[in-house]
Structure 1
Amino acid sequence: MDNRIQPVIAAMAGGEREQLGWFDYDLTTDVWTWSATLYRIHGFEPGEIVPTTAIFVSHKHPEDRSHTDEVLAAVLETGQPFCCRHRIITSRREVRTVVTIGQGTLDDTGRVTKVTGYFVDITDAATAVSQQAIRDAVAGSAAARAQIEQAKGALMIVQGVSADDAFAILRWHSSHANVKLRDLAQLIVDAIQQPYTGTDDANQRLGRLLSGVVDGSVRPERGIAATPVRPVITR
């Protein structure tokens, strides 16, 4: 298995609903490589089409395309890690909600030569979220409820998503990283409240945190002080 996605597979162990597929894009040859699952997420059989940048972009939902184009352009220019939640339209005209995470590889001159990453299809998880699920999840205590609501609010502001979508993101990371929802919420609240520097912003901070929770480098007992640079969350 590709070493690049082993931490993600490990984090998702025990969960079978979310499909995960990886991609490589070599800028020097303009060649895309998709995993079999990524073909299926887009509604194709593996090898049915030759993936290209035009095909990659064409499947973005029209309402999300402006944002995803900006994210793609940024990573192609800078190689900066990214995390982008958006919708795609498959070849079967189905709308799927996905999270795309990746980063670029730079050569010795600082030029981006490759972009690698993965797609997680969270359509079922996002659809299943309801206000009742939110009430059930935070029923433990007033303190836990306040933490989760604050974390949801942070995600809503940074990502521009609804309350249900924010909770879906929290629940996905909590479930597949085996971290309690209230502990994840506390990590997010603590991260947002720490002082910012001239090279740090909310997008970068939440991106590092959520990616670190997925790959296991950030745990509630360790806090966020030693969190490495991780994908930037954008909407």
Structure 2
Amino acid sequence: MSSFKQPALSVVDGAGGDVATRPPSFSAGDLAHALGLGTNLLVGRFRVDLSTGSWWWSDEIYTMHGWKRHEVEPGLEALSSRKHPDDRSRVVRAAAEALRLGRPFACSHRIVDRKGRTRSVVVIGQGSRGGPSHPPELVGYVVDATPVQKEALARRSSAVVTRAFVSQAVIEQAKGVIMAVSRVSAETADQLLLEAAGRAGIPLRLAADQVMTGLRAEGEAGGITQVALTRALDGVEPVGRPRGHDPLLTRRPRKVAH
């Protein structure tokens, strides 16, 4: 459950001076929707006293790195030990500049936790140059963005699998028709389809799709026969080349008399 509480707004009655509480104009749900809150992420806080070099971490930062609070001293050495080997040489100039000027910054890198799992984290912070009453410091958050990355990869993998399934279904459908009409084995049907695709120089799925499109047209005209199948296989052509029977694509432009 969220600990967010809508702040009470006070309204002063001009007549009697009484203070009334104005009801909130939005709910926590409205706020979550407006901010686009979705996947729950592990978020940790950190603070660095730049005058002494001392660090403080919240429990979440220990957790995402695979430590318990008593096992390691917060600091640069501990963070560097968990950084992904491929990211150790990266220098984030924006962060250094932000620290110098006291501006907010955000950057990302990968870490490897105690169990050898790679995590993607986003570091958000802001440096303060300090003043007479307080020392310069760096404060911010570390966000474990690994779940979002995994969700994106899962969606991409699902789309690839779906496309592959659809592609294979079209191929198998065309092969099945060839086997039924020509009374040949699956190997022979596969070879006939491969030869048609090879002649046109197109992928097998596109060849199968063209064959099925041609056969559907033949079926509407009176049934799928061996002649119709042969015509469909021979009619497989490179994608984008105008069809010879289409007068709108093959007609020569008319010459304009001067």
Shorter chain as denominator, the TM-score bin is 0.3 to 0.5
Q: Comparing both chains, which one has the higher relative contact order based on Cα–Cα distances under 8 Å and sequence gaps of 6 or more?
A: 1
**What TM-score, normalized by structure 2, do the two folds share?**
0.42
**What TM-score, normalized by structure 1, do the two folds share?**
0.45
